[in-house]
Structure 1
Amino acid sequence: MADHDKTLSTEVTVSAYYRVHPEDRRAFIDAVIPEMTAAQKMPGCVYYAFAQDLTDPNTFHLLEGWADQDAYENHEEAESFLSALSTVVKTVRILHREGVRYDIARMHIDDPRGKVS
């Protein structure tokens, strides 16, 4: 999370997953880490997390939160994003990918800890 944006609400979020060919896993990770680090520092980034699945080392999950549409679009046009995208498209065999962008109209804080006594 970008330190300067911890109090921002999230108006745009992205949820995606990628299953990559086992031989291309390292190339995928190497392309994503610099992009993830750069995105987390961008203005309007509320959170940006790319993580390897706990049960399948060839599956990766992406969750992004942006303060607004402009912040999201600035990320999509950033050199770090375009560089990572180019590397992945040209060198990584994506076996399956699904991604969805959501424009959030209303947020509710979800904290189920109160259900535990």
Structure 2
Amino acid sequence: MIPHTKHTPTSKVISAYYTVHPEDRQTFNDAVIPHLSTTAQQDGCTYYVFAEDLTDPNTIHLTEGWRDQDAIDAHMTDERFLEAASAVLKNVRIIDYQAEYYDVATQTAGALPT
């Protein structure tokens, strides 16, 4: 496995969000949090981050970076991913969901404006 660095080449990005029923927020977290570190360590994963929306705590954003499509395909069939997805789909009322997949044409390390 290639060690992850902040400049690891990423050719695929997935950006998604989930808006969950307020009563199911903890159930969502409980299903997803154990899955975060195992996915981040999968071969080909350059980053995998869930983050709470600052204006709506029941909306959670997911941003994923992957080396290539083969890495995404392996992730989507990984037993731990399937368990987490199943737990969410069976136990969480998802009010809204959207996901977009992007092919990265170029990648440049950025910096905050000075």
TM-score calculated relative to the size of structure 2: 0.90
* Unaligned runs of at least 5 residues, structure 2: none
1-side partners of 2:71 and 2:39: how far apart?
A: 10
Is 1:39 aligned with 2:39? yes
With over 3 angstroms needed to count, the CA separation of the structure-2 counterparts of 1:53 and 1:3, relative to structure 1, is farther
Aligned to 2:93: 93
Give the distance between the partners of 1:39 and 1:77, measured in 2 at CA.
12
Query: 1:63 maps to which residue?
Result: 63
**Structure-2 separation of matches of 1:3 and 1:34:** 22
CA offsets 1:16-60 (integer angstroms, 9 cap, x no match) = 011000010001001111111110111111110011122211110
Q: Distance in 2 between matches of 1:34 and 1:79?
A: 13
Q: Distance in 1 between matches of 2:19 and 2:97?
A: 6
The match for 1:10 is: 10
- Deviation at residue 111 of structure 1 after TM alignment: 2.9
- How many residues end up aligned between the 2 structures? 113
Residue of structure 2 in register with 1:106 after alignment: 106
Q: CA deviation at 1:110?
A: 3.5
SS across alignment from 2:3: helix
Q: Aligned partners of 1:75 and 1:19: how far apart in 2?
A: 23
Uncovered stretches (5+) of structure 1, i.e. residues with no partner: none
Which residue identity is paired with 1:52? E
Asked whether the equivalents of residues 34 and 80 of structure 1 are also in contact (C-alpha less than 8 Å), the reply is no
| Offset at residue 112 of structure 1 (A) | 4.5
The two structures, once aligned, show a CA RMSD in angstroms of 1.7
Task: Normalising by structure 1, report the TM-score.
Answer: 0.88
Q: 1:16 corresponds to which letter in structure 2? A: A
Residue 81 of structure 1: aligned partner:
81
Alpha-carbon distance, 1:105 to partner: 2.2
Identity of aligned residues (%): 47
